[in-house]
Amino acid sequence: MLDKFQLLPLYYQVKEKLMDKITNKYFEIGDLIPSETELQETYKVSRITIRRAIQELVQEGYLSTQQGKGTFVSKPKASQELDFITGWAETMNSLGMHPHTENLSFTEEPVSTTVAKYLNIHPGDMVYKLYRIRYVNNEPICLMTNYLIPTIVPGILEKGLINESLYETLEKVYGIALNRAEEIVEAKAAKAKEASLLQIIKGSPLLHATRVTYDINNQPVELVYTLTRGDRYSYTIKLSGRQKPLN
């Protein structure tokens, strides 16, 4: 039962009750949780309260709703720590997950003004463009578009990638030492084609990351746009200390 005299809102109390059951594996991954009507009866609250609790757990990736079927416990999110330069496959392997990739296209084409600016080259210069779907445990998680400068990675179209890993290929085949990366992460709603490829509903939340990776000479090596399902992935940022005041 809920404590209606607590300062915590009722929907939040319901959310915490459900989270406890998920955490303690009363509800296992893939389990169908009780219906809204059953939860109303259990916690003696309104349907609006139950819906808000469920909606927040869906947004946070703990539950997923399937129209006409109900609400299910989701798989835990993959989480990338933003402290070292790591490739996507490396991150998934380190988490004990099983990644694989489907290459949608690998082409050479003239570069746009925006991409040229990131790579410090001229608009219209030729670049390699690699467009892929990345999977974890056979579930599509992200769409990735990589741009590479041909003079830096000659022949990569024919050679392909080692273990589906671009960074491993850059290091082992081309001897490139990756020194630093700058990444911007924004929220985005899935368009129809993106939703179809990722097997989600149009308008679902995506994490849109733009990363430029540099070598030891501060030369841009790669630009990558990544669209990742917000219900299956998160970023962990480690912070330490405080900046000293100027005065």
The CATH number given to whatever domain includes residue 143 is: 3.40.1410.10
Cβ atoms of 140 and 193 within 8 Å: the answer is: no
The mean predicted confidence, pLDDT, of the chain is 85
Q: Is residue 196 domain-resident? A: yes
Alpha-carbon torsion 174, 180, 182, 185, what sign? positive
pLDDT at 141 over 80: yes
Over residues 27-67, the pLDDT tens digits come to 888 889 999 999 999 989 899 999 999 988 887 778 888 77
Residues 99 and 217 in one domain: yes
Q: Is residue 246 domain-resident? A: no
Q: Is residue 61 domain-resident? A: yes
Residues 100 and 197 in one domain: yes
pLDDT at 3 over 70: no
Residues 88 and 187 in one domain: yes
- Residues sharing a CB contact under 8 Å with residue 31, sequence separation 6 or more, in sequence order: 72, 73
User: Alpha-carbon distance 160 to 155, whole Å?
Assistant: 9
Paired tokens of 116: 């040229």
Helix (H) or strand (E) holding 235: strand 233-236
Helix (H) or strand (E) holding 216: none
User: Cα angle at 98 between 95 and 96, to 5 degrees?
Assistant: 25
Residues 232 and 164 in one domain: yes
Q: Is residue 154 domain-resident? A: yes
Average pLDDT, stretch 226-247? 69
pLDDT at 77 over 70: no
Q: Give the pLDDT score at 112.
A: 95
Paired tokens of 49: 């309260």
Domain count, the chain: 2
Q: What is the DSSP string of 58-101?
A: HHTTSEEEETTTEEEEPPPPEEEETTS---HHHHHHHTT--EEE
Residues 127 and 90 in one domain: yes
Average pLDDT, stretch 111-118? 95
Cα 85–chain centre separation: 16
Over residues 171-225, the pLDDT tens digits come to 999 999 988 888 888 999 999 999 999 998 899 889 899 999 999 999 999 999 9
Identify any residues that bridge with 78 across adjacent strands, giving them in sequence order: 233
Q: Give the pLDDT score at 82.
A: 46
pLDDT at 7 over 50: yes
Paired tokens of 186: 């924004």
Identify any residues that bridge with 236 across adjacent strands, giving them in sequence order: 81
Question: DSSP code of 131?
Answer: E
- Of 55, 73, 91, the residue at which a domain comes to its end is 73
Q: What is the CATH number of the domain that holds 63?
A: 1.10.10.10
Q: Is residue 1 domain-resident? A: no
Residues 55 and 124 in one domain: no
**pTM score:** 0.65
Q: Give the pLDDT score at 84.
A: 52
Q: Buried b / exposed e across 184-195, counting CB within 10 Å, b at 16+? A: eeeeeebeeebb
Identify any residues that bridge with 135 across adjacent strands, giving them in sequence order: 100, 140
Domain span including residue 137: 78-236
DSSP three-state, residue 157: helix
Q: Is residue 93 domain-resident? A: yes
Residues 119 and 45 in one domain: no
